[in-house]
Structure 1
């Protein structure tokens, strides 16, 4: 398994050293896409989402070294709270700026009105599941061919075994075996990611 999947506890302890560039790079690699996806799902445009992710990472860089690690609490919950607070701060700053500038207020107000905050818990949960699924599939590429992964995805989508077999020129027995082996491995990958990253 890649080094990126060190346990959350180990990674959080390593980033207490703000100058441990390797740890912070690893931390960014693990969580940046997740944070960005949540923010984008809140109807925030790509440029603003990038800025907010950077603000969150800066805040984490400042706060995490002084935090104590508690295995009973979910780090992902903490990320969700920090993300929500940063989005609220972004909206407040943008509104104040628009009030000062008094230009294109209506257009900007429409954009700010479209941002959905009350749903952040559900958005974060959905994006986390997508994130874990994608990471698990990335891990499977170490041991399975792209064709095998695509066949397994078709099975997960509910396609008939005969249809998958035909699409990949396999026997139905081969598809059943592939589906069984990959389903077990995929479940283990998801469990490891949940343990290490949540």
Structure 2
């Protein structure tokens, strides 16, 4: 799939309602929207409905949306739509107090959506970077880094993989450099 910068992708969606561009938008931003909604305290069985509602609102609003990086980050706009969707659902159902008790809806949402947005973006972009680089690594590099991410000690990794500890350090440094570069690339393209 051809990579577009976020602004180019947004422009294509706005001007043509191109289905391929919309599918690419969903592929890139859907996992992020999901974690934002999850962090708003939504019950697990309702998260998917809120994700779909958020995507529908994005689809409706994107043709009129004018992205200006000086006014804020695009992910904040997505986060605000997700928060609006959840708040709207809560308001609608809070009118019926009986239903509120049955659904156990959260009565309030975290006030700082930007802080949640930033935290979840870092997790999202790190996972995406790892998915992008891991297949290009040597097996030892990948296994070392995965073990380190799980909290395994150098001694355990060295014994299990039959490699010296300094090789683990070298692999770790190389993978960290690749991760850093990939995270920077992703931040430029979709961040």
TM over 0.5: yes
Structure 2 counterpart of 1:107, from 96, 102, 107: 102
Contact 1:84-1:117 within 8 A present in 2 as well: no
Count of residue pairs brought into register by the alignment: 190
Task: Quote the residue 1:43 is aligned against.
Answer: 41
**Match of 1:178?**
171
User: Is the alpha carbon distance of 1:111 and 1:132 closer, same or farther for their aligned partners in structure 2, counting shifts above 3 Å?
Assistant: same
What is the CA-CA distance between 1:174 and the residue it aligns to?
A: 2.3
Match of 1:77 in 2: 76
Higher relative contact order (CA 8 A, sep 6+): 1
- The offset of 1:157, in angstroms, is 5.8
Conserved 8 A contact 2:93-2:100: no
Worse-superposed segment, 187-196 or 147-156? 147-156
Aligned CA-pair RMSD: 2.3
2:88 corresponding residue in structure 1:
89
| 2-structure distance, mates of 1:147, 1:40 | 35
Residues 18 and 65 of structure 1 are in contact (CA less than 8 Å); yes or no, is this contact kept in structure 2?
Answer: no
Corresponding residue for residue 136 of structure 2: 143
Q: How many Å separate the matches in 1 of 2:59 and 2:102?
A: 34
Give the secondary structure class of the aligned counterpart of 2:125: helix
Shift of residue 32 of structure 1?
0.8
Residues 157, 142 of structure 1: alpha-carbon distance in 2 compared, 3 angstrom cutoff? closer
Question: Kindly tell me: are residues 50 and 18 of structure 1, through their superposed partners in 2, closer, same or farther at Cα, counting changes over 3 Å?
Answer: farther
Is 2:154–2:165's contact at 8 Å kept on the other side of the alignment?
Answer: yes
With normalisation by structure 1, the TM-score equals 0.83
Q: Distance in 2 between matches of 1:119 and 1:167?
A: 44
CA displacement 1:69-121 (0-9 Å, x = unmatched)? 3243310111122121111111111223x25xxx454333x4333x5332433
How far off is 1:31 after superposition? 0.7
Q: 1:11 to 1:105 in 2, by over 3 A?
A: closer
